[in-house]
Structure 1
Amino acid sequence: MRICMINCALQDEFSRLGHEILALHPEPGLYDFPSLLEKHAFEPDVVVQQETLGPRVLLQGLGKLSCLKIYWSIDTHLNSFWQEEYSRLFDLTCSTQKQWARYLQDQGACRTAWLPWFGRRLPWYPWSSRKHNVGFVGRVTRHRPSRERFVAFLGQCYNLRLTQDVSFQQMLEIYQETRLAPNESIFGEINFRLFEAASCGCLVLNPAPIPGLEELFTPEREIGVFRHALELGSMISSSLNNLPAAEKMAKAAWVRVQEEHLPAHRAKSLLALIEENLSQFSKKSCDSSDLDWAMTLYRLWQARRAPVSGQTLLHLLLALPESPRKRCALLGFWMGMDRRDMVAHDLAAIFQANLHAEDHNVNRTASLAALHLEDLPMAKAFWLRLRARSPRLPRPPGTQRELYLAWARDLQRQGRLARPGLSYDHQRHVPESALECLILAHLLDSRDMDICRAMDALLDKQPGFEPLRLSLLSHITLHRPQDWLAGLKLGLVNLQGFRLEEGLEELFLAGSRAAQQNQDRKFFNALSAADPDRSIRTTLHPRPDF
């Protein structure tokens, strides 16, 4: 096959498989892709673009191509808010994150697949030849306070070898001299470090739970997994006390890399996806490509990352044929430009012309935009307009708070819990996730503990939101000091964020409050469920009055 690969780490593997490859590595920016192909006199059967981290390479004109187009998203956990639009320009979108591949499919991508990252073919070095017990390679800055606490904990307790700002080759050499490699992630993702350290023969100690992790490496046989600082500490101590057993696990992970997780393995997986999708591929052009392109730029503009001006984006949006997505984007654009007059104008136009009355997203976006203008009657009107076509919806809520909560439940049902990677600005953004609606409800009355609990419950299984949960639970325990369950959760979140002293203190206080209410058995059961290795209870037990 003739394959054009843009910034793809698997290009050499595909060449070895006998395919004709045009490998492009353009500088960050926007590219008219058909013109780029014409310049290289290359007519591909398949296009594969791999996401570049940092500044973006965005390909315009993909809808004009009649070949199979594939996008490989690397940091979907940080960029799904715009990639859910960009992925529509491709026939298949792969993600390194299992759960995010499913999410993109749910949000409108044509087809999706899980394609994890890969390791390296490196020699095995016995642990007896290694210099360092515990090592971590990664940049530590004030912008990642959780990582600062993570490395501080490891440095204080386990003589961590911390290395920053080194080349890729130097990083591999450091891990080849290291026995244990504790890992850290941003939003509960499977990251490069997992594969890199396992390739080097380290025992990787990885945060859990992460969807797909157990399919790549088997916990307790090939890697260790931890949920909080004390569990990680217990795991490091037991590994150092039994190096032969720990080395056996590390060797098993290294073998797994050699057998399943090398570039050649990923190339064969991608090739199988190409062949499967070619058999189903229709060579008609994509009618919605102009809309998908404009929406991609709009999402990046919302995050202040767009490579075009606001005026250029507005011209693109206005030039599109009428559609629900265009209408929602225009409302969001006017709100982002602080043009309240145009938000009000468009709301009136949509309502009076009965535009897209059947579209769920238009009605929700319009209702929430009206709430931004503090126009409760208009916000209710769009709820009623939707309810006329969806009888299951309850009667319109009576207050701003109730309407925000109702739309939060609606978004939660659609699986739109939060938008990781986007710094939500309630002054600029129409809320598009359950969390954002709850934030707006909370802003109406910060003393409403029910909303705080609803936000915490929403985020309980969402890694990466620990700082927000910490703030919410601290707020609850401040105003409801007898709520021992909130105190228990606060203690656990502190431990997840490597705040050991604060976490243990909160757990101790929560246990005392539960005992005062004759609910110590309930407290013990709840703590036991969160402490399968007993590391928390073992640490707390010496306190005489626990």
Structure 2
Amino acid sequence: MKILCVDCLFAKLLKQRGHEVLELNNVHGILSLPHFLKSKNFFPDLIIQQENIKIRLILSGLEEVDCLKLFWSIDTHINLHWQIYYFKLFDAVLTPHYSWLKKLEKINLPLFFRLPLPAPFLSYKAYENRTEELSFVGRFTKFRPLRQRLKDAYALLGYQNFIEEISYRDMLKLYSNTKLVPNESLGYELNLRIFESAGAGAVVLAQNIGEDQDAVFEPQKECVIWHDIIELFDLTKYYLKNESLAKKISEAGYARVQKEHLIEQRLNTLLYFMKNITQNTRNKVEDRKNLWLSLVQLVRNNMLDFSYLDLLGAADGLADDCLMVAFKIILLTENQQYDDARRLIHSFSTNKELCVNVFSSDYLLLLSSCSASAMFQDDFNLAKYFLLMYYNELVKSNEAQALILFNQVNCQPISEFELCLSWARLFENKEILSWIGFKFYPYRKNSEEKNNFEYRAYMPQCSLSWLLTAKTYKQDQNLKKYLEALVEKTNGLSSIYQDELSDFIVKSANSSLQWRFLTELGVKKLEQCQFGEGLSDIKTAFQLATEKNIQANFHELLSRLTSQERKENILNCMKFYTT
């Protein structure tokens, strides 16, 4: 078989198995695939593109190449905002984060399969002969606050073996000589460290991220799960003290890697999946639209160097539909071309044939983008007009279905804050909750930064971004409840919710509910490895509850927020915590 491998680690192994392989590695930007293949005189039967998280490559002209195409998404959890469009250029998608794509089953995506990155093959060093009790290797940046907190927290126990600058070979050598490796995840994702460290025979102390991790390592038998920093401390001390139990987990985790998680098994899994993958009939018009939408989201998130004006020019010749018009309005508004945005909104309003299905998520994005654009232009009456228009269009199409979608939605908001909450609820009802990797900065009415092009406010596209926009107008219990529900449904949002709770605490200094906010915030901080801050907040909450003679309410809330064992650990630590 003739195979084009784009940044794909299977290339060498495929060659060894007798396939003719052309490699394309470490190219940044946009590449015309037909031109590249013609220059190499290579016409593949299969294309495998693996996401390169350091050097971003977008292939154009995929629709012109007649073969099976697979995309291996590595950071699905933080790149869905652009990959949901790029995926559609392929016949199937591979991902370590299968649960994230399951949440999007209502969106028309290609077939997707679970395929994590493989572990390296390493010889096993006897657990009792390892000289490092605990180690961790990873980059420490402002974008990874949880990792820095983990490092700072372990420093309290005297562990300093958190290393940033080290070669890959030396990292594996270190892990092979280490007993315990704590692991954290930026967005509650399945990352490579768990395979690297378990494959080196270390006991992985893994943050609780759920289904994707549980599918590859059995909790408490092949790895150890933690929920907050106090539990992590306890587990660290427990397994260093009980070496025979740690050795069993070390050996079981290593055996699982040898059996299922090496590169040979990963390739065999891929080849097995391919039995169920067929080449889709390409719609070249739709493929070109999806390529453009991918580029828009990459550029908006500063992941690709391309101007907004060039993007708008690149849309010429592409037929308009709901999604195309929505993103044109978004680009024009974010680029402060308000007159052009208004003209486009007006032309849409008079074009009733633009959207066939008013219940689609595309139509929701279009109407909400019109509304958000009006808000950017300080026109509240026009902004709320599009909410009412959306409701009327849905009722006209199917009243019963419209009432379900508009459940708990205020159709007649009297303020920008209420309007934002209405759109947030509609996106939530459509299960479009958040785009975790998108760096969203909400529009602020009357902000001095408003007309500064270096400060670019973003148009909301999901429930979370509408809530963050609502926050700029007002903060109250409704907003807190929305955010609380959103965090329950979506991993990786704890830090955002933490910020909101902090704001509520500041504003409720004399409120009877401050003890409750502090308890919730303290638990969230412990989950985010903020040991001292979390305990301090919970201790203050207990003191406030004691002053009001409602200690029972405090204990009841803490029981709801944690397990009984975690609650006891927190209370024990709280007794002795002073600074």
TM range (shorter): over 0.9
Equivalents in 1 of 2:10, 2:527: separation in Å?
36
**505, 512, 532: which is aligned to 1:482?**
512
> Residue 453 of structure 2 corresponds to which residue in structure 1?
none
Equivalents in 2 of 1:284, 1:423: separation in Å?
32
TM-score between both structures, scaled by the size of structure 1: 0.94
**428, 441, 462: which is aligned to 2:490?**
462
TM-aligned CA distance change 1:77 to 1:146, over 3 Å: same
> CA offsets, 1:295-353, max 9 Å, x none?
11111111122233333211112331121111011101101211122222222222133
Give the 5 Å matches for 1:436-447. Answer: 436-446=465-475
> Residue 297 of structure 2 corresponds to which residue in structure 1?
299
Secondary structure in 2 matching 1:5? strand
**425, 428, 433: which is aligned to 1:409?**
425
Equivalents in 1 of 2:565, 2:217: separation in Å?
24
TM-aligned CA distance change 1:360 to 1:163, over 3 Å: closer
Alpha-carbon distance, 1:9 to partner: 1.1
Aligned length: 543
The sequence identity of aligned pairs, in percent, is 25
Equivalents in 1 of 2:291, 2:158: separation in Å?
50
> Residue 371 of structure 1 corresponds to which residue in structure 2?
375
**461, 478, 490: which is aligned to 1:432?**
461
> CA offsets, 1:412-440, max 9 Å, x none?
12222111111112243221011111111
Equivalents in 2 of 1:335, 1:6: separation in Å?
36
Equivalents in 2 of 1:532, 1:337: separation in Å?
48
Equivalents in 2 of 1:11, 1:500: separation in Å?
45
Give the 5 Å matches for 1:328-367. Answer: 328-354=326-352, 356=354, 358=358, 359-367=363-371
Alpha-carbon distance, 1:461 to partner: 4.9
Secondary structure in 2 matching 1:12? helix
What letter corresponds to residue 460 of structure 2 in structure 1?
P
TM-score between both structures, scaled by the size of structure 2: 0.88
Is 2:385 the partner of 1:381? yes
TM-aligned CA distance change 1:533 to 1:438, over 3 Å: same
Secondary structure in 1 matching 2:440? coil
TM-aligned CA distance change 1:426 to 1:318, over 3 Å: farther
- The answer to whether the 8 A contact 2:127-2:250 is kept is no
- The answer to whether the 8 A contact 2:82-2:297 is kept is yes
Secondary structure in 1 matching 2:470? helix
What letter corresponds to residue 275 of structure 1 in structure 2?
K
Alpha-carbon distance, 1:487 to partner: 1.8
TM-aligned CA distance change 1:528 to 1:497, over 3 Å: same
What letter corresponds to residue 469 of structure 1 in structure 2?
Y
- The answer to whether the 8 A contact 2:179-2:203 is kept is yes
- The answer to whether the 8 A contact 1:328-1:365 is kept is yes
Secondary structure in 1 matching 2:47? strand
> CA offsets, 1:163-209, max 9 Å, x none?
22211111100101111000111110111100000000000001113
Secondary structure in 1 matching 2:165? coil
Equivalents in 1 of 2:388, 2:197: separation in Å?
55
Secondary structure in 2 matching 1:205? strand
Equivalents in 1 of 2:217, 2:518: separation in Å?
34
What letter corresponds to residue 205 of structure 2 in structure 1?
L
TM-aligned CA distance change 1:400 to 1:78, over 3 Å: same
Equivalents in 2 of 1:242, 1:520: separation in Å?
36
Equivalents in 2 of 1:127, 1:467: separation in Å?
36
Equivalents in 2 of 1:104, 1:34: separation in Å?
31
> Residue 310 of structure 2 corresponds to which residue in structure 1?
312
Secondary structure in 2 matching 1:270? helix
> Residue 327 of structure 1 corresponds to which residue in structure 2?
325
Q: Which moved more, 1:413-422 or 1:48-57?
A: 413-422
RMSD: 2.2
TM-aligned CA distance change 1:17 to 1:286, over 3 Å: farther
What letter corresponds to residue 304 of structure 1 in structure 2?
N
> Residue 396 of structure 1 corresponds to which residue in structure 2?
412
Runs of 4+ in 1 over 6 A off after TM superposition: 542-546
- The answer to whether the 8 A contact 2:189-2:209 is kept is no
Q: Which moved more, 1:344-353 or 1:202-211?
A: 344-353
> Residue 492 of structure 1 corresponds to which residue in structure 2?
523
